Structure 1
Amino acid sequence: MGSGNGFFSTQAFNLDAKWLIDPQQLFVGPKIGEGAHAKVYEGKYKNQTVAVKVVRRGETPEEIARREGRFDREVAMLSRVKHKNLVKFIGACKEPIMVIVTELLLGGTLRKYLLSMRPKCLDMRIAVGFALDIARAMECLHSHGIIHRDLKPENLILTEDHKTVKLADFGLAREESLTEMMTAETGTYRWMAPELYSTVTLRHGEKKHYNHKVDAYSFAIVLWELIHNKLPFEGMSNLQAAYAAAFKNVRPSAEDLPEDLASIVTSCWQEDPNARPNFNQIIQMLLHHLSTISPPEPVMPPKRTTSENAVLPPESPGTSSLMAARDDVGETPKATVEDRPRSFFFCFNQCY
């Protein structure tokens, strides 16, 4: 049932057939990333180079139900939003294991890109351009009633030419409704809005009242980081940063920022969520600032160190590590050249 502001409550979903991945045609190569509940691999699907996110189901019935619900929501959201600054969704399957397939971006995460530049900072026009990419992606999500809840440099991926940023990882995204409360199982403390904290540490799964303005706060911290190329709340642990922001109203210093940008970050990270601007307003403020600064000096992008897009055979380390979740299975039998299956689906059957 839709709410008055265009945000909708979460409903159960059935994956449209056009988004259903055929595991027989999915080939998995080297691992390129890993999170708390998933691993990401380079792969091939129907001769297209892709990123393959494999979500672990968990062990207990409660954990399995929670992760399957999160997977269902992520796929439902990915399948209905499309924007040049969102990682392109290709498809998903839930059996034999939970897999999400997206386009593969070779520029690496924004976190790695910024680290490669330290101690230098991004040219201001480039930093603001990246911020515009992020704001446009967020404006698209919010227009569809989706809160990302985990906006941070690790979830922002660059294209190979390092000219465009795209938003990834909808694992914690939720649809917003003014009539329901949402759990506080949200992103990384350092970038999280203060209203997401209840005590010194967050009680996992506690119901909280909050809305899409949590993303505006996170955006302010990311923008500050883009400009300074420093970790926000430097010298504090994640929990110390969370406590300082939520209970002492501490924020990174905006004193040395140009007036326009200082206005953006300070308005976005205000304690009162209702006082924060929406992303349409943020985009207009960024565009205004961009019009006032001179073109950037040419900068050579850092040398890319990612591997070639080689697809590994089923017995390779990349595929073996994909199936290493079960310690009691033993080694994967090696097939002969004649009967060697090459599909992701078969590898699952062999190992489980």
Structure 2
Amino acid sequence: VQFLRSMMPRKPRAEFYNALGLAKQGKTLFYRDFLFHMRHSTDKFRIAPGIKGMVMLVFDLPSFPFVFKVIKDFYPPQKDTTREQIRGKYLLVKQHDRVGRMADTLEFSEVGFPRERFTDELIAEIQKFAPSQLEISDRDGDGATEVIVKHVYIERRMIPLNIYLQEAFDALRGEGGDELLRQRARQQLTRAVVEYGNAIKDLVAANIFPGDMLWKNFGITRHGKVVFYDYDEIEYITDCNFRRVPAPRNEEDEMSGEVWYSVGRHDVFPETFGPFLLGNPMVREVFMKHHADLLDAAFWQSHKERIASGHVFDVFPYERDRRFHIQAGKELLD
């Protein structure tokens, strides 16, 4: 760990222990860091910025670079799931090769926070959507009221990809302004879209289908890497059935607002991703140039067959210019 810290001094020790498989030591060090931060800060926990999730309630402390995620007690009709199933998905990710594209998650139970560090709006939000996960009491008998969260996941905070893209859209649409700023905004948009597709392809290589592929379910790290962090709908690629949308049988089918073909629980139609993901012409242009194959069922089916046959792709978590190189004669080998 000390050797790795000499190369990555900004990364907390807890993350090294987690990466090495020593999860309990990692959680212990993380909690020590968290308590130290609480003693030396005064800001309050709040509802996390961004689009609210349908199954997870997310809050954060502005001065602390992590988010806290609580499973809600009830979900909208389109989310056919349970608390046990969601916890199962997070356990799947914990035990799976994350290939540098899925956020590392720390899981805690019965966590106590000082009540004065919570905004009233956040307390009301938890009481509304996850009342079974909240207790407010003086459990230590010392007169200090605590907010006790029964079960929580903690992840490194990232910029949601939809917000990152919106910043680029705003800069490109702004009247007047600096051409250099516009150029940077175009580069920001291009990099985000290309990295988004790369993230999905890395997940596919590791036998993971993200399920809900909306931009808001991906984040961008401080190093510009796109990472997936919404796990409630993930599946193994090998459990999915990738299909093309059947041709309409008649004009009535073609004009129908409902699907005219049968859809099984694990059926996936990649060509239908476009309307949800590529509504912005600038995004569509970049996506179709670099990742049009993600809209083709043949791409997904070929990877499913590859995985089923036992072939394993090497996925490198770091870009080429960040990898170690070994001098071998006159050649540089990755």
Shorter-chain TM-score bucket reads 0.3 to 0.5
With a CA cutoff of 8 Å and minimum separation of 6, indicate the structure with the bigger relative contact order.
1
Give TM-score, length-normalised by structure 1.
0.45
Give TM-score, length-normalised by structure 2.
0.47
Report which of the two has the higher share of helix: 2
Structure number, greater radius of gyration: 2
